[in-house]
Structure 1
Amino acid sequence: MDAFWQFAGRMLRYKSTIVWAMVFAVLSAGGLGVGLVSIAPVLENILAETSRGLPDLALAYNERVPGFLAWAQLPQGVLDQLPEGRFTAVVTIVSVLGVLTLFGGVANFLHAYLSLTVVYRTTTNIRREAFHRAVRLPLKTVVTGGTSDLVSRIVNDTNQLSQGFATLLSRTVAQTTKGVAGLVAALVLGPLLVLSALPVIVLLYVVIRRLGKKIRRASRGALKSQAGMYASTTEVLQGLRVVKVYTTERYEAGRFHRINKRFMKDMMRVRV
């Protein structure tokens, strides 16, 4: 993992793009949190027998917000400007939710767009550097080790890095910010329920962390097996004349089968 983080640090070359991607991720998560908090009064106002207007709903919301989230309360100036009426309250909240949904979708798209821009530019730079290193290697090293491993490093390994960068900068950030927004919304709607669920969250964290370590070890073995499969295939196809002359097709097929089975076992470990 140290090598991965060393390569991931190269994404900091595009700091401004990363900052804007984080801003849009926070905005997208904020829209989700506001939407979760706002949907409750809509359902209550539609299903309840007694009607309440927007001022009453806003006052009830401020009373429900815990003290440590006082910054999330609506100011009195906003409460004074809210219109009265049950139907007006429902229409206004639903309209705001529609705008928030559109805004959140745009922010989510921009976050993914900017994040993947950084990922692909960084991966392209790493791939170019790897190719420059490969063509400057001593000829003896290339002939002895074979070209398949170098091709795998330049093409396959950089693709794996790209997937890791995308997970780190795009999906991880998006899901983390949305999780925080959902947690804040849950604290506003039902703080006692959230506190009672904290032990389960800790347990899930421990389980997911252990599974993550196991998957990383299995993935490392799968990559080694894949490199061996590249090497075996390249050696046989490049030396196919020798294989035909000495009629070793059966031997080479058996060797490839063993490597292929080892690769399958490593992939099965990743699956589990």
Structure 2
Amino acid sequence: MHNFFRVLRIALRHRLTVIASVGCSLAIALLWGGNITAIYPIVDIVMAGKSIPQYVDEHIAETETQISELDESVARLRETLRAEGAGQSSVRLNLDYQTSEIEDKQTKLAQLKRWAPWAHQYLPNTAFETLTLVCLGLFLGTILKSIFRIAGAYCTTRLRHLTAFELRKQFYRRTMRLDLSTFGETSPGDLMNRFTGDVNLASNGTQEVFGTALRAPLMIVVCLAGAAWISWQLLLLTMISAPLSGYAIHWLAKALKRSNRKALEELSLVYDRLEETFGGLKVVKAFTSESRERSRFHQQSKQFYRKSMRIAFYDSLVSPLTEMMGIGMIVAAVVAGGYLVLNQQTHLLGIRISQDPLTHGWLTLFYGFLAGASDPIRRLSGIFNGLQKSLAASDHLYELFDRESEVVDPSVPVALPSPVGRIQFRDVSFYYKPEEPVLRGIDLTVKPGETIALIGPNGCGKSTLMNLLPRFYDPQQGSVSIEGVDVRNVRIRDLRARIGVVTQETLLFDDTLAENIRYGSPGATDEQVVAAAKRAHAHKFITEKLSDGYNTMVGSRGGRLSGGQRQRIALARAILRDPEILILDEATSQIDVESERLIHDVLEEFVQDRTAFMITHRPSTLSLANRIVVMEQGKIVNVGSFDELAAKCQLFRRLAHLNQRESA
């Protein structure tokens, strides 16, 4: 419930919409109860062939007669007390009771006499005209109630969309602040499920809360208040079955919330399966594994189906329970009320139910109020599972929302020196899992303006080591510093503003080529964008092969471009950013042979006067490095120039394919 209350607090920020929703619900509830009261004048007045003025006059006369009879009875009781002494406690109790009756009836008489002139002046004098007036009032009340229902539905729907809008923005902002390890632990399918399914379900709950969940209880309260006004004792008697049904519904609520939570987790796995299959569709088809993937998807979907059917089972119990509670109330009311009216009694099982015997009209109105309460109860049972889904979705959503990033800004940030000085990795150790260390005691010092190449077998920790510099991760042991300043003491935004990164998996956004190049430098002019593209040797294919030139949309993840084209756009993006520290992680791996020499010249020029790290196995690129760091199993095993390592390091020769070149 706590997390769902957080969603409701977002909705409560839109005060005017909330106030309008609450006001509409209150108006609907009052009009709902007001329409039900039309039963009484129809049954006890119109069906008796009377008008309201006649009914008031008769009740005035009847009440005056009752007061006169009570006065005579009180006088006799007082004579008895004087004659027999003050010891007659039963007589005195009877005297007090009848005195109280006189006061009640005098109050009632005063009210009737106040109403009488108004009734005679404004209300019709015949039964049919009275019936017409009551029906007209009922019709107008229904029209007015319908207007409030339309306005209320609009307000609650607006509130739902506003809440979803704010919630989605907050969640997106929060996820952007999380570190990469969190995204490694959370699958894309699960993230998409939270962004779409969880947000929608949670915001749907706000619509239900400020709609049916607010309106229905108000309608129930109005109806039960009306029934209690007729006879609260009879109302309590009819609600004997309510506690048992309430406990059963509470049990169902817990079961539904638990089942909905499991269903959401299964749905995330279904999304994962879809994302994995569609993302690797080419591989699936290449290995003719369609039937295998269909089988895996079938099993995943079947699990979700089973969880959904468990929810359906629990949900199917809600309506029968509420119906049994309603039938229990109605049966108790019919038996007890029928006994009182048919026998003109005011007591039941020794308990006083009413001051005067109930008439057919009052009892029918009592039944009408109970029936009026049953309809909103039925509506509440209809949204019961929906609210449980909202509760489960809120918990699932805020589970990730509340996760703290392991990489955070320091409380008192330190400014980096300008220009960037010496970079040091001191006794750096890192692991994703404690039992699987990735880096072990790395020590490396890089001078300003030096170009360092890293080479090693797959999984030796090259990319992980470079990920520590811009603080994509923080080491568990040791430190990474720039000119003596630990990068953990620098504001993340300030640190990454000085670093440019080009990765092997080039990611472009579904935007124009120009905007993709400008991505790291939003303030760059069109001329600067073109200049960067020329330096990356991308300008030619942009202007000659693409019909819209720099305004060409690259598609999702740059899918409309070839791998080599995407890589050159990524290089242009880094060139435009003009960082002091450059990290190239297999950045030339997808460049064709024809472009390799040109890109080599670009990199040779671009790495001048800046500190650069290159992860590569290409000898042409390795030759650009001042020093080459050879890594194996998370450790640095050798450092030197190209010629030095070629002469003394067999691992380097094998990784750079020098042995094959010599034999060729």
Deviations 1:85-139 (A, max 9, x none): 3223222222221221112111222222222222211111111222333455555
Deviations 1:58-102 (A, max 9, x none): 687xx9xxx9xx9xxx77544421133322322222222122111
Shift in alpha-carbon separation, 1:113–1:76, aligned structure 2, 3 A: farther
1:13 aligns with 2:13: yes
Asked whether the equivalents of residues 266 and 303 of structure 2 are also in contact (C-alpha less than 8 Å), the reply is yes
Instruction: Quote the offset at 1:205 in angstroms.
Output: 1.6
Shift in alpha-carbon separation, 1:91–1:191, aligned structure 2, 3 A: farther
The AA in structure 2 aligned to 1:209 is H
1:81 aligns with 2:118: yes
Percent identical: 23
Distance in 1 between residues matched to 2:306 and 2:246, nearest whole Å:
27
Residue among 275, 281, 291 paired with 1:234: 275
The AA in structure 2 aligned to 1:53 is S
The AA in structure 2 aligned to 1:260 is S
Instruction: Quote the offset at 1:264 in angstroms.
Output: 0.6
1:194 aligns with 2:235: yes
What does residue range 1-272 of structure 1 map to in structure 2 within 5 Å? 1-48=1-48, 51-55=49-53, 57=55, 77-82=114-119, 83=123, 84-138=125-179, 141-142=182-183, 145-189=186-230, 191-272=232-313
Q: Which has the larger radius of gyration?
A: 2
Question: 5+ residue gaps in structure 1?
Answer: none
Asked whether the equivalents of residues 38 and 138 of structure 2 are also in contact (C-alpha less than 8 Å), the reply is yes
Distance in 2 between residues matched to 1:58 and 1:25, nearest whole Å:
34
Asked whether the equivalents of residues 7 and 206 of structure 2 are also in contact (C-alpha less than 8 Å), the reply is no
Instruction: Quote the offset at 1:33 in angstroms.
Output: 0.8
Asked whether the equivalents of residues 34 and 185 of structure 1 are also in contact (C-alpha less than 8 Å), the reply is no
Aligned match of 2:333: none
Deviations 1:228-267 (A, max 9, x none): 1000111111012222344433332222222111101110
For the residue of structure 1 that corresponds to 2:50, the secondary structure is coil
* Larger relative contact order (Cα-Cα within 8 Å, sequence gap ≥ 6): 1
Asked whether the equivalents of residues 243 and 249 of structure 1 are also in contact (C-alpha less than 8 Å), the reply is yes
The AA in structure 2 aligned to 1:231 is D
- Please, which moves more after superposition, 262-271 or 129-138? 129-138
Asked whether the equivalents of residues 45 and 52 of structure 2 are also in contact (C-alpha less than 8 Å), the reply is no
Distance in 1 between residues matched to 2:159 and 2:9, nearest whole Å:
12
For the residue of structure 2 that corresponds to 1:199, the secondary structure is coil
Asked whether the equivalents of residues 41 and 57 of structure 1 are also in contact (C-alpha less than 8 Å), the reply is no
Instruction: Quote the offset at 1:141 in angstroms.
Output: 4.7
Asked whether the equivalents of residues 56 and 112 of structure 2 are also in contact (C-alpha less than 8 Å), the reply is no
The AA in structure 1 aligned to 2:282 is R
Instruction: Quote the offset at 1:202 in angstroms.
Output: 2.1
Distance in 2 between residues matched to 1:254 and 1:197, nearest whole Å:
56
Shift in alpha-carbon separation, 1:140–1:210, aligned structure 2, 3 A: closer
How many pairs align?
261
RMSD: 2.7
Distance in 2 between residues matched to 1:128 and 1:58, nearest whole Å:
63
Asked whether the equivalents of residues 7 and 203 of structure 2 are also in contact (C-alpha less than 8 Å), the reply is no
Asked whether the equivalents of residues 26 and 177 of structure 1 are also in contact (C-alpha less than 8 Å), the reply is yes
Asked whether the equivalents of residues 45 and 90 of structure 1 are also in contact (C-alpha less than 8 Å), the reply is no
Higher helix proportion (structure 1 or 2): 1
Instruction: Quote the offset at 1:144 in angstroms.
Output: 6.0
- Report the TM-score, using the length of structure 1 for normalisation: 0.84
Shift in alpha-carbon separation, 1:135–1:183, aligned structure 2, 3 A: same
The AA in structure 1 aligned to 2:291 is R
Instruction: Quote the offset at 1:57 in angstroms.
Output: 4.7
- Report the TM-score, using the length of structure 2 for normalisation: 0.37
Higher strand proportion (structure 1 or 2): 2
Deviations 1:5-38 (A, max 9, x none): 2122111212232123212211111111111122
Asked whether the equivalents of residues 222 and 263 of structure 1 are also in contact (C-alpha less than 8 Å), the reply is yes
Asked whether the equivalents of residues 33 and 184 of structure 1 are also in contact (C-alpha less than 8 Å), the reply is no
Asked whether the equivalents of residues 36 and 185 of structure 1 are also in contact (C-alpha less than 8 Å), the reply is no
Distance in 2 between residues matched to 1:261 and 1:46, nearest whole Å:
62
Distance in 1 between residues matched to 2:241 and 2:179, nearest whole Å:
56
The AA in structure 2 aligned to 1:54 is I
- Please, which moves more after superposition, 33-42 or 262-271? 33-42
Shift in alpha-carbon separation, 1:76–1:237, aligned structure 2, 3 A: farther
- Please, which moves more after superposition, 237-246 or 97-106? 237-246
Shift in alpha-carbon separation, 1:139–1:268, aligned structure 2, 3 A: same
Shift in alpha-carbon separation, 1:76–1:7, aligned structure 2, 3 A: farther
Instruction: Quote the offset at 1:222 in angstroms.
Output: 0.7
Aligned match of 2:642: none
Asked whether the equivalents of residues 25 and 173 of structure 1 are also in contact (C-alpha less than 8 Å), the reply is yes
Shift in alpha-carbon separation, 1:144–1:215, aligned structure 2, 3 A: closer
For the residue of structure 2 that corresponds to 1:129, the secondary structure is helix
Asked whether the equivalents of residues 25 and 174 of structure 1 are also in contact (C-alpha less than 8 Å), the reply is yes
